[in-house]
Amino acid sequence: MDGWSQSEKDALVFDWSFWGRPSQFAPSGDWSTFLLLAGRGFGKTRAAAEWVRGLMCGATPLSRGIGEHVAIIGETAADARDVMVGDGKPLSDPSASSGLLQVHPKAFRPTYIASKRRLTWPNGAVATLYNATEPDQLRGPQHSHAWLDELCKWRYQKDTFEMLEMGLRLGTHPQKLISTTPKPTLLLKEIMKDSGTVITRGSTSDNLGNLASGFIKRVYDRYSGTRTGRQELDAEVLEDLDGALWKRSTIDQHRIKLEDLPPLQRIVVAIDPAVSSEESSNETGIIAVGLGEDGHGYILDDASGVYTPLEWAREAIALYRARRADRIVAEINQGGELVEETLRSVEQNIPYSPVWASKGKWIRAEPVSALAEQGRIHHVGFFPQLEDQMCAFCEGFNRTEMGYSPDRLDAMVWGISEIMVEGEGRRFAFGSL
């Protein structure tokens, strides 16, 4: 680079053809869907953002590309904004995201108008942001291209995908890029089998040179050699385990849309609290379930995560209020009376019942699994992490081999047991308050 002008050096920073790995580029050919199936930290977001930039900008930054109107679709509105659009920090900043604002030189960066969910480039190209919790946002608008991020985590993935497909009709050859870590969902399998789909696979290890050493040590120490690691790091599409209490085909068969939810007689928020909140700690399972007038159970929400005690109490009570639930139930094997005290520190008069796990997880889960096999349990939308735990839960479940504790599953079992399995799965340690 000796003898280069500053402008030439600046231009190199944004020369994706120089920096990108071959697996991060869309293939040539007459495809309709580019499926970038890769593990955490592979560089999916950067690759997809650069693909969009290539569509929107022609031979020079101010000339029009082939993208007429691009749909930018994230799991939630926050994901679309924070991950896909990004924060605009320079690429040289280690804390910068890899979104659309990062991959453009500042002078040619699109303007983001949050109120309109719109990105407008200096050359007039336009992209609109959508999220997979509101599929009807895509009813009506037309697009020439689309970027779909983390499809396998979408709450209403099939509805959102179908709405996009109906409006993907601008230009001569509409295309979409899907960047996701895989989960064996019915929609992903259909996309993979489609003749118009080209697939690039990648793993976390492909990008080790650009990942923080602390992240590499943490995730590989915890997940290397586990089933979770095979999925999240190596991007394997893992099927149900033989002997698991739940099957994805059964869940899919009885899954319903929000508009098909019947009137509910009861709504319960169930908690399986963790004892610590370190990054490597188990999650606190927080699941909302409802009992319909038809006598069936409905899984409504999954607010699980790694929380401090006060945080999980606030999350659970916020969900209780949002759903207008009639009770919170929580396992107290590890927290005892502190579980109730924590909840009541947030809301003193919350209707609460402690439950004690006197039986093993398998025995507690069997009656709930039987209800699912009878077609009496319905998932309202898609809950990928919960469903992963359900379809991998076998007798003799080994946390070390799997790489996680099934806390979401535990909370769901407590909730369904409370509303549907009379006398099973719950013993009140202090009485129902």
Note whether 218 and 110 are same-domain residues. Answer: yes
Q: Which of 232, 265, 286 is the last residue of a domain?
A: 232
Domain annotation covers residue 46: yes
Note whether 105 and 207 are same-domain residues. Answer: yes
Q: What CATH number does residue 385 fall under?
A: 3.30.420.240
Note whether 181 and 207 are same-domain residues. Answer: yes
Note whether 264 and 226 are same-domain residues. Answer: no
Distances (CA, A) of 121 to 101, 147, 222, 251, 426: 11, 17, 42, 43, 58
Q: Is residue 368 a contact partner of residue 377, using CB atoms and an 8 Å limit?
A: yes
Domain annotation covers residue 433: no
Domain annotation covers residue 139: yes
The confidence score (pLDDT) of residue 423 equals: 44
Q: Which of 206, 232, 258 is the last residue of a domain?
A: 232
Residue 170, judged by CB atoms within 10 A of its CB (0-12, 13-18, 19+), counts as middle
Note whether 109 and 57 are same-domain residues. Answer: yes
Residue 97, judged by CB atoms within 10 A of its CB (0-12, 13-18, 19+), counts as buried
The confidence score (pLDDT) of residue 304 equals: 95
3-state secondary structure 278-341: CCCCCCEEEEEEEEECCCCEEEEEECCECCCHHHHHHHHHHHHHHHCCCEEEEECCCCCHHHHH
The confidence score (pLDDT) of residue 424 equals: 39
Residue 147, judged by CB atoms within 10 A of its CB (0-12, 13-18, 19+), counts as buried
Q: Which of 205, 232, 259 is the last residue of a domain?
A: 232
Provide the 10 A C-beta neighbour count for residue 69. 17
C-alpha dihedral sign at 413, 418, 424, 426: positive
**How many domains does the structure of the chain reveal?**
2
Distances (CA, A) of 100 to 63, 112, 148, 154: 18, 10, 14, 21
Q: Which of 313, 301, 300, 302 is closest to 274 using CA atoms?
A: 313
pLDDT tens string, the chain, 433 residues long: the values are: 888 888 888 788 888 999 999 999 999 889 999 999 999 889 999 999 999 999 998 777 677 888 889 999 999 999 999 999 998 777 777 677 789 999 988 888 899 999 999 999 998 999 999 999 999 999 999 999 999 999 999 999 999 999 999 999 998 899 999 999 988 888 999 999 999 999 999 999 888 888 888 888 888 877 777 877 888 888 888 777 778 889 988 999 999 999 999 999 999 999 999 876 666 678 999 999 999 999 999 999 999 999 999 999 999 999 999 999 999 999 887 777 888 999 999 999 999 998 887 677 788 888 898 999 999 999 999 998 999 899 888 877 776 666 678 899 999 999 999 999 864 334 333 333 3
Note whether 63 and 152 are same-domain residues. Answer: yes
Note whether 202 and 289 are same-domain residues. Answer: no
Provide the 10 A C-beta neighbour count for residue 151. 26
Q: Is residue 417 a contact partner of residue 359, using CB atoms and an 8 Å limit?
A: no
The confidence score (pLDDT) of residue 278 equals: 67
**Structural domain harbouring 29:** 6-232
Prediction pTM value: 0.75
Helix or strand run (H / E) with residue 254 = helix 248-254
